[in-house]
A and B are shown apart, each in its own frame.
Chain A
């Protein structure tokens, strides 16, 4: 649950960093969008599966 909460608030913290690294482009898409649409949901899904398996 802590991992998921961290995944949720991470972009808020990243956007405050100098140089706006969240707005860098990879394959035409910003890192922020890769994170929000792909990386974070995938990480969250794996975390949920692992957490359920441990329980």
Chain B
């Protein structure tokens, strides 16, 4: 497979949306996230080219689980996008899964390496339209957004004019008083802090009913609810000001930052094999990802600071074309939203094609049946549960890092067999078992970061286990001589 093809597995819709949303929201983790997302696939390109991986039922099961998790994340992102433009979630999931199965199972599937650049070009086109529409270069847009005294709802925001829909259950924290109006009937939970006392009130509102919130209140909104906000008021949950957004500095614990880097780097090493050629093209994809996502986040913050309100990272991607005025050439926001949707679909097909290659390596001639089952399972999970795309994405990348990348890196070219199993497979079982145990454990507060990122424990255990088994094999050989 070419460099382009191997890297296409990386910038799927969920990952792209996550990075853009983090930048647009001024999340403290955003700079590290952009850095890790850009550098992780390049790190994977430099990993030692391995010998033929041992084909084993355990490896196949792990690759299938990882593929299903990553596909679920991307499908959840596409479903969120569909919900935000007023379509049904399951329509998007079924369409994307069916199209991808058609593309990946057709005999000429190798003729489709251009689908990832097509998706990237579609998103780049919208980014260029944003630059032309605002008349600002990305760094100028960044400086403008960072100079704002406060991030507030504009009078033209769809959240102010007709009200928008929340994709999933969300809790909003209000820093200033605001009157919100229910566009559709629903139940809303308000938590007030009255002189240090916490008061919980549940409100059942009809269409057009208003709710007044005071500074410090939180409002929990159920999925599917629609609300309208006041123009000129601060966006709930947004950074306090433009400078606070622009100065986003990692204030998370070093352990959490390290865990994020480890999850992304090892996840990329597991999913992106070292390619034989077209490395320069692959490098440009990684660069485009970092520069493109950062620029998109800056334009989105400038045009629509409420980009993260609906509870889905995909909103940050859609908020930019929505907020742009029609250009002189007649390109409307609706047309640009269609371009973004097509770009995301193309990125999904390309990422799925990359995952299929990994599955084919593990499954051998049975890959069509296994691949169809994986895609079907991921689609079913995404239809049944309205989950945050980040949950399956981070779980999939973490599991891939602990159970696939760490044992492979430790095993090297020829680790041999122990107890009748390839050493790499034993390491994979160890990594997966520790990952699952840490993920479901209920640790004390001091160790919460480890439970949130099980790869921090599981990857070193898997790596160390394989190294120990290799060393023991080496000792046995020495004694035999």
Contacts and interface: CB of A to CB of B under 8 A. Distances in A.
Interface string A1-44: 10011011101100100001011000111101101111011101
B98 interface: no
Of B36, B38, B45, B265, most buried by chain A (CB within 10 Å of CB) is B38
A18 B78 CA distance: 43
Contacts of A51: 46
Contact of B265 (A8, A20, A29): A8
Contacts of B46: 1, 4, 48, 51
Nearest to A27: B139
Nearest to B250: A15
B414 interface: no
A40 B36 CA distance: 10
Contacts of B241: none
Contacts, number: 105
B143 A27 contact: yes
Nearest to A16: B254
A23 B247 contact: yes
Interface stretch (B152-160, B285-293, B387-395): B285-293
Interface in B291-319: 291, 294
Contact of A29 (B39, B143, B280, B291): B143
Contacts of B287: 41-42, 45
A3 to B, nearest CB: 9
B42 interface: yes
Interface in B421-476: none
Contacts of B261: 8-9
Interface string B249-267: 1100010011001000100
Interface stretch (B27-35, B108-116, B330-338, B361-369): B27-35
B246 interface: yes
B32 A11 contact: yes
Contacts of B139: 27-29
A34 B467 CA distance: 39
A48 B261 CA distance: 19
B92 interface: no
Given A48-B45, A49-B283, A38 B291 contact: yes
A31 to B, nearest CB: 10
A40 B47 contact: no
Given A15-B250, A38-B291, A41-B287, A8 B39 contact: yes
Nearest to B45: A48
A33 B25 CA distance: 14
B210 interface: no
B31 A32 contact: yes
A15 B32 CA distance: 11
B291 A45 contact: no
A5 B36 CA distance: 10
B31 A33 contact: yes
B31 A11 contact: yes
A37 B31 CA distance: 7
A29 B38 contact: no
11 contacts: A1-B47, A4-B46, A9-B258, A27-B139, A28-B139, A28-B147, A38-B290, A40-B35, A44-B42, A48-B279, A49-B279
Given A11-B31, A11-B32, A23-B249, 7 more contacts: A5-B43, A11-B250, A28-B246, A29-B142, A30-B246, A40-B35, A41-B291
Interface of B: 31-32, 34-36, 38-39, 42-43, 45-47, 139-140, 142-143, 146-147, 246-250, 254, 257-258, 261, 265, 279-280, 283-284, 286-287, 290-291, 294
Interface of A: 1, 4-5, 7-9, 11-12, 15, 20, 22-23, 27-30, 32-33, 35-38, 40-42, 44-45, 47-49, 51-52
Q: Which 10 A-B pairs have the closest CB atoms?
A: A28-B143, A37-B294, A36-B31, A36-B35, A41-B38, A45-B283, A41-B290, A1-B46, A4-B43, A52-B279
